Amino acid sequence: MIIHFFTKGDMNMASSRFRVHVMAQELFKQGQSVIVHIPRIQAWWDVSAARFGELRATIAALRAVSADDVVYLHKTVFQVDFILAVVVFRMVSRAKIIFDFDDAIFLHSRYKTMILLRIAHGVTVASHFNLAFAQRYNHNCIVVPTVLQADVYKRFSADHTTTNVPVIGWIGNARGHYDNLALLEPVLSELACHHDFEFVLIGARGNERVHALFANKQYRVRIVENLNWSDPSDAPRHIQEFDIGVMPLLDTPFNRGKAAFKALEYMACGVPVVLSAVGENKRVVTHKKNGMLASTQDEWMQALTLLLKDATLRKKLGHAGQVFVRDHYSYTAVVPQLLEFIATL
The CA distances from residue 333 to 65, 155, 193, in Å, are 28, 18, 43
- C-alpha neighbours within 13 Å on the C-beta side of residue 218: 11
Q: Are residues 33 and 168 in the same domain?
A: no
pLDDT at 233 over 90: yes
Which sign does the torsion angle of CA 131, 150, 154, 313 carry?
positive
Residue 236 to residue 257: CA distance in whole angstroms: 24
| pLDDT of amino acid 51 | 75
| pLDDT of amino acid 315 | 97
Residue 4 to residue 71: CA distance in whole angstroms: 5
| pLDDT of amino acid 52 | 79
pLDDT tens digit string along 122-132? Answer: 999 999 999 99
Q: Are residues 79 and 179 in the same domain?
A: no
Number of domains within the chain: 2
pLDDT tens digit string along 174-200? Answer: 999 999 999 999 999 999 999 999 999
Q: Counting beta carbons within 10 angstroms of the beta carbon of residue 193, is it exposed (0 to 12), middle (13 to 18) or buried (19 or more)?
A: exposed
Interaxial angle between packed helices 80-92 and 49-63, expressed in degrees from 0 to 180 and rounded to the nearest 10 = 30
Give the chain's radius of gyration (CA, Å).
21
Q: Are residues 80 and 203 in the same domain?
A: no
Q: Are residues 124 and 181 in the same domain?
A: no
Q: Are residues 107 and 242 in the same domain?
A: no
| pLDDT of amino acid 222 | 97
Residue 181 to residue 204: CA distance in whole angstroms: 11
Q: Are residues 166 and 140 in the same domain?
A: no
Q: Are residues 307 and 255 in the same domain?
A: yes
Query: Residue 94's domain spans which residues?
Result: 2-147+330-343
Three-class secondary structure of residue 220 per DSSP: strand
Tell which phi-psi region holds residue 216, choosing left (phi > 0), alpha (psi between -120 and 50) or beta: left
Question: Are 317 and 287 spatial neighbours (Cβ–Cβ below 8 Å)?
Answer: no
Q: Are residues 110 and 156 in the same domain?
A: no
Q: Are residues 156 and 137 in the same domain?
A: no
Domain of 250, CATH number, reads: 3.40.50.2000
Residue closest to 177 by CA, chosen among 113, 254, 101: 254
Q: Are residues 194 and 321 in the same domain?
A: yes
Q: Are residues 168 and 96 in the same domain?
A: no
**Strand-strand pairing, 96-101 and 70-74:** parallel
| pLDDT of amino acid 164 | 84
pLDDT at 89 over 70: yes
Average pLDDT of the chain to the nearest whole number: 94
Q: Are residues 154 and 139 in the same domain?
A: no
Residue 294 to residue 255: CA distance in whole angstroms: 15
